Amino acid sequence: MEVFVALMNKIDSWIWGLPMLVLLCGTHIFMTFRTGFIQRKTFTGIRLSVTKDPDSPGDVSQFQALTTALASTIGTGNIIGVGTAIYLGGPGAVLWCWLTGVFGIATKYAESLIAVKYRVQTADGRMMGGAMYALERGLKWKKFGKVMAVLFALFAMLASFGIGCGTQINAIAEVLETNLPISLPRIAIGIVFGIITAIIIIGGIESIAVVCEKLVPLMALFYVVGCIVILCTNYDFLLPALKAIFVLAFKPGAVTGGLVGGGIRLALQYGVARGLFSNESGMGSAPLVASAAQTRNPVRQALVSATGTFWTTVVVCLMTGLVLVSSMMKNSAVNAENMANGGQMTTAAFAQIPYIGPLILMISIITFAYSTILGWSYYGERAAEYLLGKKAILPYKVLFIAVVVCAPVLALDLVWTIADVLNAFMAIPNLIAVLLLSGVIAAETKHYLKHLDEKDESEIPVVDR
Protein backbone atom coordinates (compact mmCIF):
# COMPACT_ATOMS: atom_id res chain seq x y z
CA MET A 1 0.00 0.00 0.00
CA GLU A 2 2.85 2.38 0.84
CA VAL A 3 4.33 1.76 -2.60
CA PHE A 4 0.99 2.61 -4.23
CA VAL A 5 0.63 5.80 -2.17
CA ALA A 6 4.16 6.88 -3.09
CA LEU A 7 3.49 6.13 -6.77
CA MET A 8 0.25 8.15 -6.81
CA ASN A 9 1.97 11.08 -5.09
CA LYS A 10 4.75 11.05 -7.69
CA ILE A 11 2.25 10.92 -10.57
CA ASP A 12 0.22 13.73 -8.99
CA SER A 13 3.27 15.94 -8.45
CA TRP A 14 4.50 15.37 -12.00
CA ILE A 15 1.27 15.64 -13.96
CA TRP A 16 0.05 18.72 -12.06
CA GLY A 17 3.48 20.28 -12.32
CA LEU A 18 4.83 21.83 -15.50
CA PRO A 19 3.17 19.49 -18.07
CA MET A 20 -0.45 20.15 -17.11
CA LEU A 21 0.11 23.83 -16.32
CA VAL A 22 1.65 24.35 -19.77
CA LEU A 23 -1.10 22.36 -21.51
CA LEU A 24 -3.96 24.11 -19.76
CA CYS A 25 -2.53 27.63 -19.82
CA GLY A 26 -1.42 27.16 -23.41
CA THR A 27 -4.93 26.08 -24.39
CA HIS A 28 -6.45 29.02 -22.52
CA ILE A 29 -4.25 31.49 -24.40
CA PHE A 30 -4.59 29.73 -27.78
CA MET A 31 -8.40 29.60 -27.57
CA THR A 32 -8.53 33.23 -26.47
CA PHE A 33 -6.97 34.24 -29.79
CA ARG A 34 -8.76 31.51 -31.80
CA THR A 35 -12.15 32.82 -30.66
CA GLY A 36 -11.27 36.48 -31.15
CA PHE A 37 -11.02 37.16 -27.41
CA ILE A 38 -14.46 35.77 -26.59
CA GLN A 39 -14.09 37.15 -23.06
CA ARG A 40 -15.40 40.46 -24.44
CA LYS A 41 -18.81 38.78 -24.76
CA THR A 42 -19.00 37.78 -21.08
CA PHE A 43 -21.79 40.22 -20.31
CA THR A 44 -23.69 39.00 -23.38
CA GLY A 45 -23.46 35.54 -21.84
CA ILE A 46 -24.74 36.84 -18.51
CA ARG A 47 -27.72 38.42 -20.30
CA LEU A 48 -28.45 35.21 -22.22
CA SER A 49 -28.22 33.13 -19.03
CA VAL A 50 -31.42 34.69 -17.66
CA THR A 51 -33.40 34.34 -20.90
CA LYS A 52 -35.28 31.19 -21.85
CA ASP A 53 -35.74 29.27 -25.07
CA PRO A 54 -38.28 26.65 -23.91
CA ASP A 55 -39.20 25.47 -27.41
CA SER A 56 -35.61 24.40 -28.14
CA PRO A 57 -34.42 20.82 -27.66
CA GLY A 58 -32.99 20.14 -24.21
CA ASP A 59 -33.82 18.92 -20.72
CA VAL A 60 -33.23 22.05 -18.60
CA SER A 61 -33.16 25.81 -19.11
CA GLN A 62 -29.89 27.55 -19.88
CA PHE A 63 -29.89 29.14 -16.44
CA GLN A 64 -30.45 25.75 -14.78
CA ALA A 65 -27.59 24.28 -16.81
CA LEU A 66 -25.35 27.15 -15.71
CA THR A 67 -26.26 26.91 -12.02
CA THR A 68 -25.82 23.11 -12.05
CA ALA A 69 -22.35 23.58 -13.56
CA LEU A 70 -21.60 26.30 -10.99
CA ALA A 71 -22.82 23.95 -8.25
CA SER A 72 -20.06 21.48 -9.07
CA THR A 73 -17.43 24.15 -9.72
CA ILE A 74 -17.95 26.46 -6.74
CA GLY A 75 -16.48 24.27 -4.04
CA THR A 76 -14.11 24.44 -1.12
CA GLY A 77 -11.30 25.28 -3.57
CA ASN A 78 -12.80 28.73 -4.05
CA ILE A 79 -12.35 29.37 -0.32
CA ILE A 80 -9.64 27.13 1.12
CA GLY A 81 -7.85 26.78 -2.23
CA VAL A 82 -7.20 30.52 -2.47
CA GLY A 83 -5.83 30.48 1.08
CA THR A 84 -3.51 27.64 0.09
CA ALA A 85 -2.29 29.59 -2.96
CA ILE A 86 -1.48 32.64 -0.81
CA TYR A 87 0.08 30.47 1.91
CA LEU A 88 2.45 28.80 -0.56
CA GLY A 89 2.91 31.45 -3.23
CA GLY A 90 2.39 34.73 -1.41
CA PRO A 91 -0.22 37.45 -2.07
CA GLY A 92 0.91 37.71 -5.70
CA ALA A 93 -0.70 34.32 -6.36
CA VAL A 94 -4.10 36.06 -6.28
CA LEU A 95 -3.29 37.97 -9.48
CA TRP A 96 -2.21 34.83 -11.34
CA CYS A 97 -5.28 32.98 -10.09
CA TRP A 98 -7.45 35.81 -11.42
CA LEU A 99 -5.67 35.95 -14.80
CA THR A 100 -6.05 32.18 -15.14
CA GLY A 101 -9.78 32.68 -14.74
CA VAL A 102 -9.89 35.46 -17.34
CA PHE A 103 -8.11 33.37 -19.98
CA GLY A 104 -9.92 30.22 -18.86
CA ILE A 105 -13.22 31.75 -20.00
CA ALA A 106 -12.17 31.00 -23.59
CA THR A 107 -11.53 27.31 -22.90
CA LYS A 108 -14.80 26.91 -20.96
CA TYR A 109 -16.56 28.53 -23.92
CA ALA A 110 -14.83 26.24 -26.43
CA GLU A 111 -15.44 22.96 -24.60
CA SER A 112 -19.09 23.84 -24.02
CA LEU A 113 -19.61 24.75 -27.68
CA ILE A 114 -18.45 21.39 -29.01
CA ALA A 115 -20.35 19.55 -26.26
CA VAL A 116 -23.62 21.07 -27.44
CA LYS A 117 -22.78 20.89 -31.16
CA TYR A 118 -22.11 17.16 -31.10
CA ARG A 119 -24.75 16.13 -28.56
CA VAL A 120 -27.26 13.40 -29.38
CA GLN A 121 -30.86 12.76 -28.43
CA THR A 122 -31.73 9.40 -26.89
CA ALA A 123 -34.76 7.32 -27.82
CA ASP A 124 -36.61 8.64 -24.76
CA GLY A 125 -35.92 12.27 -25.70
CA ARG A 126 -33.01 13.11 -23.35
CA MET A 127 -30.03 15.12 -24.56
CA MET A 128 -26.58 13.54 -24.14
CA GLY A 129 -23.34 15.37 -24.76
CA GLY A 130 -19.90 16.19 -23.48
CA ALA A 131 -16.30 15.66 -24.51
CA MET A 132 -16.91 11.97 -25.25
CA TYR A 133 -19.47 12.78 -27.93
CA ALA A 134 -17.33 15.58 -29.39
CA LEU A 135 -14.38 13.17 -29.60
CA GLU A 136 -16.45 10.34 -31.07
CA ARG A 137 -18.51 12.38 -33.55
CA GLY A 138 -16.32 15.39 -34.27
CA LEU A 139 -12.84 14.00 -34.96
CA LYS A 140 -11.96 12.66 -38.40
CA TRP A 141 -9.90 9.85 -36.85
CA LYS A 142 -12.82 7.80 -35.59
CA LYS A 143 -10.91 5.02 -33.81
CA PHE A 144 -8.68 7.50 -32.00
CA GLY A 145 -11.71 9.62 -31.12
CA LYS A 146 -13.57 6.62 -29.71
CA VAL A 147 -10.62 5.55 -27.55
CA MET A 148 -10.23 9.08 -26.17
CA ALA A 149 -13.99 9.28 -25.59
CA VAL A 150 -14.03 6.07 -23.55
CA LEU A 151 -11.03 7.19 -21.49
CA PHE A 152 -12.63 10.57 -20.75
CA ALA A 153 -15.90 8.94 -19.66
CA LEU A 154 -14.08 6.38 -17.50
CA PHE A 155 -11.99 8.98 -15.69
CA ALA A 156 -15.01 11.29 -15.29
CA MET A 157 -17.06 8.53 -13.69
CA LEU A 158 -14.27 7.57 -11.29
CA ALA A 159 -13.52 11.22 -10.46
CA SER A 160 -17.16 11.77 -9.49
CA PHE A 161 -16.71 9.45 -6.52
CA GLY A 162 -13.52 11.21 -5.39
CA ILE A 163 -13.27 14.94 -6.01
CA GLY A 164 -17.00 15.16 -6.71
CA CYS A 165 -18.26 13.31 -3.65
CA GLY A 166 -15.90 11.71 -1.14
CA THR A 167 -13.68 14.70 -0.54
CA GLN A 168 -16.63 17.10 -0.38
CA ILE A 169 -18.73 15.19 2.16
CA ASN A 170 -15.61 14.67 4.25
CA ALA A 171 -15.06 18.45 4.28
CA ILE A 172 -18.68 18.94 5.40
CA ALA A 173 -18.22 16.43 8.23
CA GLU A 174 -14.99 18.15 9.28
CA VAL A 175 -16.67 21.57 9.44
CA LEU A 176 -19.68 20.30 11.38
CA GLU A 177 -17.49 18.34 13.79
CA THR A 178 -15.35 21.42 14.46
CA ASN A 179 -18.08 24.06 14.78
CA LEU A 180 -21.18 22.41 16.25
CA PRO A 181 -21.59 22.67 20.04
CA ILE A 182 -22.65 19.00 20.15
CA SER A 183 -20.69 16.02 18.93
CA LEU A 184 -22.25 14.15 16.01
CA PRO A 185 -20.92 10.79 14.81
CA ARG A 186 -19.51 11.19 11.32
CA ILE A 187 -21.51 8.24 10.06
CA ALA A 188 -24.70 10.02 11.18
CA ILE A 189 -23.69 13.05 9.11
CA GLY A 190 -23.13 10.75 6.15
CA ILE A 191 -26.52 9.09 6.56
CA VAL A 192 -28.39 12.41 6.76
CA PHE A 193 -26.69 13.82 3.67
CA GLY A 194 -27.04 10.45 1.93
CA ILE A 195 -30.82 10.53 2.37
CA ILE A 196 -31.04 14.13 1.14
CA THR A 197 -28.85 13.31 -1.85
CA ALA A 198 -30.92 10.24 -2.73
CA ILE A 199 -34.13 12.27 -2.73
CA ILE A 200 -32.61 14.84 -5.09
CA ILE A 201 -30.60 12.76 -7.56
CA ILE A 202 -33.13 9.96 -8.05
CA GLY A 203 -35.22 12.55 -9.89
CA GLY A 204 -32.49 13.03 -12.49
CA ILE A 205 -31.18 16.23 -14.03
CA GLU A 206 -34.54 18.00 -13.75
CA SER A 207 -34.58 17.53 -9.97
CA ILE A 208 -30.90 18.42 -9.57
CA ALA A 209 -31.32 21.52 -11.75
CA VAL A 210 -34.32 22.78 -9.75
CA VAL A 211 -32.34 22.54 -6.49
CA CYS A 212 -29.20 24.13 -7.97
CA GLU A 213 -31.23 26.92 -9.57
CA LYS A 214 -32.32 28.00 -6.07
CA LEU A 215 -29.25 27.03 -4.01
CA VAL A 216 -26.35 28.35 -6.09
CA PRO A 217 -27.37 32.04 -6.39
CA LEU A 218 -28.25 32.17 -2.68
CA MET A 219 -25.05 30.54 -1.45
CA ALA A 220 -22.86 32.64 -3.75
CA LEU A 221 -24.63 35.85 -2.72
CA PHE A 222 -24.35 34.89 0.96
CA TYR A 223 -20.60 34.31 0.65
CA VAL A 224 -19.93 37.46 -1.39
CA VAL A 225 -21.94 39.60 1.06
CA GLY A 226 -19.96 38.04 3.91
CA CYS A 227 -16.71 38.93 2.15
CA ILE A 228 -17.95 42.49 1.61
CA VAL A 229 -18.72 42.80 5.34
CA ILE A 230 -15.15 41.75 6.20
CA LEU A 231 -13.70 44.04 3.53
CA CYS A 232 -15.67 46.95 5.01
CA THR A 233 -13.97 46.34 8.35
CA ASN A 234 -10.62 46.19 6.50
CA TYR A 235 -11.29 49.26 4.33
CA ASP A 236 -8.06 51.02 5.33
CA PHE A 237 -6.09 48.08 3.96
CA LEU A 238 -7.89 47.52 0.63
CA LEU A 239 -5.66 49.69 -1.56
CA PRO A 240 -2.45 48.43 0.12
CA ALA A 241 -3.73 44.87 -0.38
CA LEU A 242 -4.30 45.46 -4.10
CA LYS A 243 -0.84 46.98 -4.40
CA ALA A 244 0.71 43.99 -2.61
CA ILE A 245 -1.10 41.56 -4.92
CA PHE A 246 0.24 43.29 -8.04
CA VAL A 247 3.77 43.98 -6.76
CA LEU A 248 4.40 40.54 -5.23
CA ALA A 249 3.07 38.78 -8.34
CA PHE A 250 6.26 39.74 -10.16
CA LYS A 251 9.05 40.06 -7.63
CA PRO A 252 10.13 38.70 -4.23
CA GLY A 253 10.44 40.80 -1.12
CA ALA A 254 8.27 42.63 1.36
CA VAL A 255 5.74 45.44 1.00
CA THR A 256 4.10 47.84 3.42
CA GLY A 257 2.21 45.86 6.02
CA GLY A 258 4.85 43.17 6.41
CA LEU A 259 3.65 40.88 3.62
CA VAL A 260 6.34 38.82 1.94
CA GLY A 261 6.28 37.32 -1.54
CA GLY A 262 8.41 34.51 -2.91
CA GLY A 263 8.68 35.98 -6.39
CA ILE A 264 7.07 35.35 -9.73
CA ARG A 265 7.87 31.62 -9.88
CA LEU A 266 6.04 30.66 -6.68
CA ALA A 267 3.23 33.17 -7.20
CA LEU A 268 2.72 31.95 -10.77
CA GLN A 269 2.93 28.25 -9.91
CA TYR A 270 0.44 28.25 -7.05
CA GLY A 271 -1.80 31.01 -8.39
CA VAL A 272 -2.26 29.28 -11.73
CA ALA A 273 -2.73 25.84 -10.14
CA ARG A 274 -5.44 27.07 -7.75
CA GLY A 275 -7.07 29.07 -10.53
CA LEU A 276 -7.30 25.97 -12.71
CA PHE A 277 -8.85 23.95 -9.89
CA SER A 278 -11.31 26.67 -8.92
CA ASN A 279 -12.99 27.00 -12.32
CA GLU A 280 -12.42 23.58 -13.96
CA SER A 281 -11.93 25.22 -17.37
CA GLY A 282 -10.44 22.56 -19.61
CA MET A 283 -11.49 19.57 -17.50
CA GLY A 284 -14.62 18.91 -19.53
CA SER A 285 -16.92 18.66 -16.52
CA ALA A 286 -19.30 21.62 -17.03
CA PRO A 287 -20.00 20.74 -20.71
CA LEU A 288 -21.64 17.51 -19.54
CA VAL A 289 -24.57 19.54 -18.22
CA ALA A 290 -24.30 22.33 -20.81
CA SER A 291 -25.28 19.75 -23.42
CA ALA A 292 -28.61 19.23 -21.63
CA ALA A 293 -29.60 22.91 -21.97
CA GLN A 294 -32.54 24.07 -24.06
CA THR A 295 -30.88 25.85 -26.97
CA ARG A 296 -30.89 25.83 -30.76
CA ASN A 297 -27.36 27.12 -31.17
CA PRO A 298 -24.19 25.79 -29.48
CA VAL A 299 -22.58 29.23 -29.38
CA ARG A 300 -25.47 30.63 -27.36
CA GLN A 301 -25.07 28.01 -24.63
CA ALA A 302 -21.28 28.26 -24.79
CA LEU A 303 -21.50 31.98 -24.03
CA VAL A 304 -23.72 31.18 -21.04
CA SER A 305 -21.44 28.38 -19.79
CA ALA A 306 -18.35 30.59 -20.08
CA THR A 307 -19.79 32.97 -17.49
CA GLY A 308 -19.33 30.17 -14.94
CA THR A 309 -15.57 30.77 -14.98
CA PHE A 310 -16.18 34.50 -14.60
CA TRP A 311 -18.28 33.96 -11.46
CA THR A 312 -16.09 31.30 -9.85
CA THR A 313 -12.60 32.73 -10.35
CA VAL A 314 -12.91 36.34 -11.45
CA VAL A 315 -15.49 37.14 -8.74
CA VAL A 316 -15.51 34.55 -5.91
CA CYS A 317 -11.76 33.80 -5.83
CA LEU A 318 -10.90 37.49 -6.14
CA MET A 319 -13.17 38.32 -3.20
CA THR A 320 -11.55 35.57 -1.12
CA GLY A 321 -8.08 36.81 -2.05
CA LEU A 322 -8.86 40.40 -1.09
CA VAL A 323 -10.32 39.28 2.25
CA LEU A 324 -7.22 37.24 3.06
CA VAL A 325 -4.57 39.74 1.95
CA SER A 326 -6.26 42.74 3.59
CA SER A 327 -6.72 40.68 6.78
CA MET A 328 -3.04 39.71 6.73
CA MET A 329 -2.08 43.38 6.51
CA LYS A 330 -4.50 44.36 9.26
CA ASN A 331 -3.65 41.56 11.67
CA SER A 332 -0.20 39.98 11.69
CA ALA A 333 -1.64 36.91 13.44
CA VAL A 334 -3.26 35.94 10.12
CA ASN A 335 0.08 35.88 8.25
CA ALA A 336 1.28 32.63 6.73
CA GLU A 337 4.26 32.23 9.07
CA ASN A 338 1.84 31.93 12.00
CA MET A 339 -0.32 29.26 10.35
CA ALA A 340 0.11 25.57 9.59
CA ASN A 341 -1.71 25.72 6.25
CA GLY A 342 -3.92 27.83 3.99
CA GLY A 343 -7.08 26.52 5.59
CA GLN A 344 -6.06 27.84 9.00
CA MET A 345 -5.20 31.20 7.46
CA THR A 346 -8.66 31.42 5.87
CA THR A 347 -10.34 30.49 9.15
CA ALA A 348 -8.32 33.12 11.03
CA ALA A 349 -9.25 35.82 8.50
CA PHE A 350 -12.98 35.18 8.86
CA ALA A 351 -12.67 34.85 12.65
CA GLN A 352 -11.79 38.55 12.88
CA ILE A 353 -15.54 39.18 13.09
CA PRO A 354 -16.61 37.26 16.20
CA TYR A 355 -19.46 34.76 15.74
CA ILE A 356 -20.56 36.13 12.35
CA GLY A 357 -17.28 35.45 10.50
CA PRO A 358 -16.92 31.77 11.47
CA LEU A 359 -20.65 31.26 10.79
CA ILE A 360 -20.30 32.70 7.28
CA LEU A 361 -17.33 30.44 6.61
CA MET A 362 -19.04 27.33 8.00
CA ILE A 363 -22.26 27.80 6.02
CA SER A 364 -20.34 28.67 2.85
CA ILE A 365 -18.11 25.59 3.03
CA ILE A 366 -21.09 23.30 3.68
CA THR A 367 -23.22 24.71 0.85
CA PHE A 368 -20.32 24.97 -1.59
CA ALA A 369 -19.23 21.40 -0.88
CA TYR A 370 -22.73 19.95 -1.02
CA SER A 371 -23.61 21.71 -4.27
CA THR A 372 -20.47 20.14 -5.74
CA ILE A 373 -21.81 16.72 -4.78
CA LEU A 374 -25.08 17.37 -6.62
CA GLY A 375 -23.39 18.65 -9.77
CA TRP A 376 -20.86 15.83 -9.95
CA SER A 377 -23.54 13.19 -9.43
CA TYR A 378 -24.93 14.18 -12.82
CA TYR A 379 -21.50 14.25 -14.45
CA GLY A 380 -20.73 10.74 -13.26
CA GLU A 381 -24.17 9.50 -14.30
CA ARG A 382 -23.69 10.77 -17.87
CA ALA A 383 -20.25 9.16 -18.05
CA ALA A 384 -21.57 5.84 -16.70
CA GLU A 385 -24.42 5.83 -19.23
CA TYR A 386 -22.02 6.50 -22.09
CA LEU A 387 -19.83 3.58 -21.04
CA LEU A 388 -22.44 1.00 -20.04
CA GLY A 389 -25.81 2.21 -21.31
CA LYS A 390 -28.96 3.35 -19.55
CA LYS A 391 -28.97 0.24 -17.34
CA ALA A 392 -25.96 1.66 -15.49
CA ILE A 393 -27.78 4.75 -14.18
CA LEU A 394 -29.48 3.20 -11.12
CA PRO A 395 -26.45 1.16 -9.94
CA TYR A 396 -24.30 4.28 -10.35
CA LYS A 397 -26.67 6.37 -8.22
CA VAL A 398 -26.79 3.70 -5.52
CA LEU A 399 -22.98 3.54 -5.40
CA PHE A 400 -22.74 7.35 -5.36
CA ILE A 401 -25.13 7.58 -2.40
CA ALA A 402 -23.14 4.86 -0.62
CA VAL A 403 -20.00 6.98 -0.99
CA VAL A 404 -21.85 9.98 0.49
CA VAL A 405 -22.80 7.85 3.51
CA CYS A 406 -19.42 6.19 4.09
CA ALA A 407 -16.85 8.81 3.06
CA PRO A 408 -17.12 11.00 6.21
CA VAL A 409 -15.42 8.27 8.26
CA LEU A 410 -12.56 7.70 5.81
CA ALA A 411 -9.08 9.23 5.80
CA LEU A 412 -9.12 10.87 2.40
CA ASP A 413 -5.56 12.10 1.83
CA LEU A 414 -5.00 9.32 -0.70
CA VAL A 415 -8.44 9.91 -2.25
CA TRP A 416 -7.54 13.57 -2.82
CA THR A 417 -4.34 12.51 -4.60
CA ILE A 418 -6.12 9.93 -6.76
CA ALA A 419 -8.85 12.46 -7.55
CA ASP A 420 -6.24 15.00 -8.69
CA VAL A 421 -4.72 12.41 -11.03
CA LEU A 422 -8.14 11.45 -12.42
CA ASN A 423 -8.95 15.11 -13.02
CA ALA A 424 -5.79 15.45 -15.08
CA PHE A 425 -6.64 12.30 -17.04
CA MET A 426 -10.10 13.80 -17.69
CA ALA A 427 -8.59 17.04 -18.92
CA ILE A 428 -6.18 15.52 -21.45
CA PRO A 429 -8.80 13.94 -23.81
CA ASN A 430 -11.02 17.00 -23.40
CA LEU A 431 -8.21 19.39 -24.36
CA ILE A 432 -7.39 17.17 -27.34
CA ALA A 433 -10.99 17.64 -28.49
CA VAL A 434 -10.85 21.41 -27.98
CA LEU A 435 -7.56 21.83 -29.85
CA LEU A 436 -8.37 19.49 -32.75
CA LEU A 437 -11.82 21.03 -33.18
CA SER A 438 -10.61 24.61 -32.75
CA GLY A 439 -11.35 25.29 -36.42
CA VAL A 440 -14.98 24.30 -35.92
CA ILE A 441 -15.15 26.42 -32.77
CA ALA A 442 -13.72 29.45 -34.58
CA ALA A 443 -16.11 29.05 -37.53
CA GLU A 444 -19.18 28.71 -35.30
CA THR A 445 -18.10 31.71 -33.22
CA LYS A 446 -17.45 33.96 -36.21
CA HIS A 447 -20.76 33.01 -37.83
CA TYR A 448 -22.82 33.56 -34.68
CA LEU A 449 -21.26 36.87 -33.70
CA LYS A 450 -21.57 38.15 -37.27
CA HIS A 451 -25.35 37.66 -37.17
CA LEU A 452 -25.87 38.48 -33.47
CA ASP A 453 -26.91 42.09 -34.09
CA GLU A 454 -28.96 41.28 -37.19
CA LYS A 455 -31.53 38.82 -35.87
CA ASP A 456 -32.81 37.04 -32.77
CA GLU A 457 -30.22 34.69 -31.26
CA SER A 458 -32.50 31.67 -31.61
CA GLU A 459 -32.78 32.24 -35.39
CA ILE A 460 -29.04 32.12 -36.12
CA PRO A 461 -28.31 28.85 -37.96
CA VAL A 462 -25.56 26.42 -37.02
CA VAL A 463 -22.51 25.98 -39.24
CA ASP A 464 -22.47 22.54 -40.90
CA ARG A 465 -19.88 20.13 -39.50
| Greater pLDDT, 185 or 464 | 185
> pLDDT tens across 225-265, in order?
999 999 999 999 999 989 888 888 887 655 544 454 556 77
Fill in the DSSP letter of residue 56: S
From the CB of residue 346, how many other CB atoms can be counted at a distance below 10 Å?
27
φ, ψ for residue 260, nearest 5 deg: -120, 135
pLDDT at 79 over 90: no
User: Which pTM does this prediction carry?
Assistant: 0.89
| Cα gap 287→282, rounded to integer Å | 10
Calpha distance 450→339 (Å, rounded): 53
Q: 453 by DSSP, 3-state: which? A: coil
Compute, in degrees rounded to 10, the torsion defined by CA atoms 207, 210, 216, 222. -120
Backbone angles phi, psi at 420, to 5 degrees: -60, -40
Higher-pLDDT residue of 76, 299:
299
| DSSP string for residues in 242-285 | HHHHHHTTTSEEE-TTS-EEE-HHHHHHHHHHHHHHHH-TTTSS
Domain presence at residue 286: yes
Q: Does residue 459 belong to any structural domain of this protein? A: no
Residue 356 inside a domain? The answer is yes
Number of domains in the chain: 1
Q: Is residue 460 part of a domain?
A: no
- Angle 309-312-315 from CA coordinates, rounded to 5°: 105
Cite the beta strand spans of 84-159 per DSSP E.
Answer: 120-121, 127-128
Percent of the chain having pLDDT more than 70?
Answer: 89
Ranking 264-273, 354-363, 381-390 by mean pLDDT, the lowest is 264-273
Structural domain including 26 reads 2-453
In the structure, what pLDDT confidence band is assigned to residue 65 with cuts at 50, 70 and 90? confident
- Measured from the Cβ of residue 182, the count of other Cβ atoms closer than 10 Å reads 5
Best CA proximity match to 365, nearest among 85, 166, 76? 76
**H or E element that contains 153:** helix 142-161
pLDDT tier for residue 401 given thresholds of 50, 70 and 90: very high
Question: Residue 1: its pLDDT value, please?
Answer: 66
Residue 337 confidence (pLDDT) above 70: no
Confidence of residue 333 (pLDDT cuts 50, 70, 90): low
Q: How many helices (H) and strands (E) does the chain have?
A: 21, 4
| Calpha distance 82→278 (Å, rounded) | 9
Within a domain: 354: yes
- Return the pLDDT at 102: 94
> Do residues 79 and 319 make contact, with C-beta atoms less than 8 angstroms apart?
no
Specify whether the backbone of 34 is left (phi greater than 0), alpha (psi in -120 to 50) or beta: alpha
- 371/361 Cα distance (integer angstroms): 15
Q: How far is CA 392 from the centre of its chain?
A: 26
Question: Residue 148 to residues 120, 124, 316, 432: CA-CA distances in angstroms?
Answer: 18, 26, 33, 9
**CA-to-CA distance for 131 and 114, rounded, in angstroms?**
8
Give yes or no for residue 99 having a pLDDT over 50: yes
Closest C-alpha to 287, from 440, 65, 122: 65
pLDDT of residue 462: 58
Sign of CA dihedral 219, 47, 133, 101: negative
CATH number for the domain harbouring residue 35: 1.20.1740
Over pLDDT 90: what percentage of the chain? 41
Give the DSSP letter of residue 311: I
Predicted pLDDT at 256: 47
DSSP SS3 for 437:
coil
For residue 463, tell me if it sits in a domain: no
Q: How does the average pLDDT of the chain come out, rounded?
A: 85
Q: Which amino acid is at 458?
A: S
Residue 462 counted as domain residue: no
pLDDT of residue 258: 47
